[in-house]
Amino acid sequence: MQWQRGTVRGWGGAVGGESDVVRPTEISAVQEALASDHGPNGIALRGSGCSYGDASINPGGRVLDTSRMNRILDFDPERGVAVVEPGVTIRDLWRRSIGDGYWPAVVPGTQQVSVGGAAAMNIHGKNNFAVGTFGDHVRRFTLATPTGELLECSRSENSDVFHAAISGFGMLGCMTEIELELKRVHSGRMRVWGIPTRDLDDNLSMIEDLRESSDYLVGWIDMHATGDALGRGQMHRGVQFREGEDPDGATLLAADRQDVPTTLFGVVPKGWIWPGMLFARQLGMVGFVNAAKWRAGFGEGHRSPYPQTHGAFHFLLDYVPNWQKAFSPLIQFQPFIPFDAAPRVLRTLIEMCHKARLLPYLGVLKRHRLDKFLMTHAVDGFSMAMDFHVGGQARRHAVWDLTQRMAEVVLDAGGRFYYAKDATLLESSFERIHGRGAVEQFRALKARLDPDGVLQTELSRRLLGRG
Ligand SMILES: Cc1cc2nc3c(=O)[nH]c(=O)nc-3n(C[C@H](O)[C@H](O)[C@H](O)COP(=O)(O)OP(=O)(O)OC[C@H]3O[C@@H](n4cnc5c(N)ncnc54)[C@H](O)[C@@H]3O)c2cc1C
């Protein structure tokens, strides 16, 4: 087994450091790595490294990177059930399934995410309100634990571990084989509406009005707008075609028809866009760009609905390669707020950003529902993801201070947080988010499956301590 020293960072580039990394290709090598002589910082599990913050980094320790365990072991085209190794990406998965009329039931904003990382974080999509989280579509997985066991976990076998490892941010063992069910699609595209929204209340009430009749809903928020326009933005609504509704849609059920284009307007290479975005940020034009985007939303509103492939609808962020470089180093802060408190709390959070003069360059609103996973981030309510450029020491300090103050407002309202997007929460928040009972249950499982505390990350040390 070869450990290679290198720099391992969170996706946003704001946190990271030197680690010894191993990239196994077989389960036996995963077990060997977990049993190896590790130092006080143990071993972090890592999929594609798409968590914005410190969830899959381990400065001063070891990292087990699953990206080379990337075989699709089985796909049943009748039932849409796949058995995969953990490093298979969402892109690998849909490319295999779309020809048979199946699409992953839950996908994030980038297709680079691995199935192991998606399950461990229990990721959500723009359809969380309708179909639940990624874990809701996992049927079973095999978990290699630091005690050397290979545990089979499902809703009926080791159900406690099943419900804790999904959402357990890689703390209980390494998922080495995952079985999941995909959803039927009858066309390679769907109907999409882009609808401008006046303010925050308009955004929130539109989601409520449309959610019974929509498959996907996501709100973009112009975080720079103030006064009566505070919280304005644009809602994107996706509705799938039912069987027979889109006669031409079947031809788009081909992997190559779903890939995101590599040029803008068919001419400009997409790789040229991020330097333009960087320039706009450096010139202080992000507010202007947001306002222009909001106005352009009216044109899109007039053209709506329009057909769009699944790939183009879901993976907008993959359209612009390396876009994060324009805002890097960056962190994302995504609080989840119960329904009744959401209008007040979201407004307060936006106002706090304005007061601190630290405006997120991006704000994204989603509707969520509860789930059964132990370390869940879910609420019956809304989340608002806010992306902050971090920059130098002074700005970093200010962003950390602001997000920690905002976290207090969210926790006081009974809200939760999502560790895939976190870099700044304090240890004291952990029990407030999950409640003492859930935390004790999680710690007991950790003590049983990983008694020596082998599995660690910067995130786990920040929130759980070393215990
Ligand atoms: C541009 C962008 C858009 C995104 N959009 C969304 C979104 O819409 N919705 C959403 O929910 N998330 C979103 N995310 C976050 C992303 O989905 C999560 O961070 C996801 O967990 C990343 O998967 P990964 O394979 O990169 O895992 P990593 O980031 O490498 O790891 C994530 C966690 O999983 C653990 N882990 C990894 N592999 C295993 C394994 N085999 N067994 C056990 N534990 C393991 C790690 O220890 C870590 O705690 C987005 C991220 C980006 C960069």
φ/ψ of 381, rounded to 5, equals 175, -140
DSSP characters over 340-402? GGHHHHHHHHHHHHHHHT---SEEEEEE------TT----SEEEEEEEEE--SHHHHHHHHHH
CATH code: domain of residue 85: 3.30.465.10
Closest C-alpha residue for ligand 1 atom 7: 108
Can you give the pLDDT at residue 264?
A: 65
Say yes or no: 96 and 133 in one domain: yes
Tell me what the mean pLDDT of segment 226-230 comes to. Answer: 97
**Rounded Cα gap, residues 13 and 11, in angstroms:** 5
At 343-379, the pLDDT tens digits run 999 999 999 999 999 999 999 999 999 999 999 999 9
Can you give the pLDDT at residue 467?
A: 60
Pocket of ligand 1 (CB under 6 A): 11, 44-51, 55-56, 66, 86, 108-110, 113-114, 116-118, 120-121, 123-125, 169-170, 174-175, 317, 420, 457
CA 16 to chain centre: 19
Q: Which of 19, 22, 31, 51 is the pocket-test mutation for ligand 1 (most atoms within 8 Å of CB)?
A: 51
At 57-113, the pLDDT tens digits run 999 999 999 999 999 999 999 999 999 999 999 999 999 999 999 999 999 999 999
Residue 425: pLDDT band with limits 50, 70, 90: very high
Say yes or no: 163 and 214 in one domain: no
Ligand 1 centroid to Cα of residue 53, in Å, is 10
Closest C-alpha residue for ligand 1 atom 1: 110
φ/ψ of 170, rounded to 5, equals 70, 25
**Does 157 have pLDDT greater than 90?**
yes
Q: Has residue 427 been placed in a domain?
A: no
**Does 7 have pLDDT greater than 70?**
yes
Q: Which of 46, 85, 376, 457 is the pocket-test mutation for ligand 1 (most atoms within 8 Å of CB)?
A: 46
Which of these, 332, 262, 429, 314, lies nearest to 50 by C-alpha position? 332
Can you give the pLDDT at residue 267?
A: 66
Can you give the pLDDT at residue 27?
A: 98
CB neighbours of residue 256 within 10 Å: 8
Q: How many CA atoms lie within 13 A of 411 on its CB side?
A: 18
Say yes or no: 355 and 454 in one domain: no
Which of these, 287, 366, 284, 271, lies nearest to 323 by C-alpha position? 271
Q: Has residue 435 been placed in a domain?
A: no
**Rounded Cα gap, residues 386 and 220, in angstroms:** 10
Domain count, the chain: 3
Ligand 1 centroid to Cα of residue 153, in Å, is 20
* Beta-bridge partner residues of 152: 142
Q: Which of 52, 62, 123 is the pocket-test mutation for ligand 1 (most atoms within 8 Å of CB)?
A: 123
**Rounded Cα gap, residues 342 and 349, in angstroms:** 10
At 234-274, the pLDDT tens digits run 999 999 999 999 998 989 999 998 877 676 656 677 777 88
Q: Has residue 412 been placed in a domain?
A: yes
Can you give the pLDDT at residue 1?
A: 80
Residue 281: pLDDT band with limits 50, 70, 90: confident
The residue type of 398 is A
Closest C-alpha residue for ligand 1 atom 22: 50
Residue 88: domain span: 72-184
Atom number of ligand 1 nearest to Cα 48: 26
**Rounded Cα gap, residues 225 and 218, in angstroms:** 18
Tell me what the mean pLDDT of segment 20-33 comes to. Answer: 98
Pairing between strand 268-269 and 263-264?
antiparallel
Can you give the pLDDT at residue 274?
A: 83
Tell me what the mean pLDDT of segment 284-304 comes to. Answer: 93
Q: Has residue 18 been placed in a domain?
A: yes
Ligand 1 centroid to Cα of residue 50, in Å, is 5
CATH code: domain of residue 246: 3.30.70.2520
Say yes or no: 233 and 145 in one domain: no
Q: Inter-axis angle of helices 427-434 and 436-449, to 10 degrees? A: 110
At 311-345, the pLDDT tens digits run 999 997 887 878 888 899 999 999 999 999 999 99
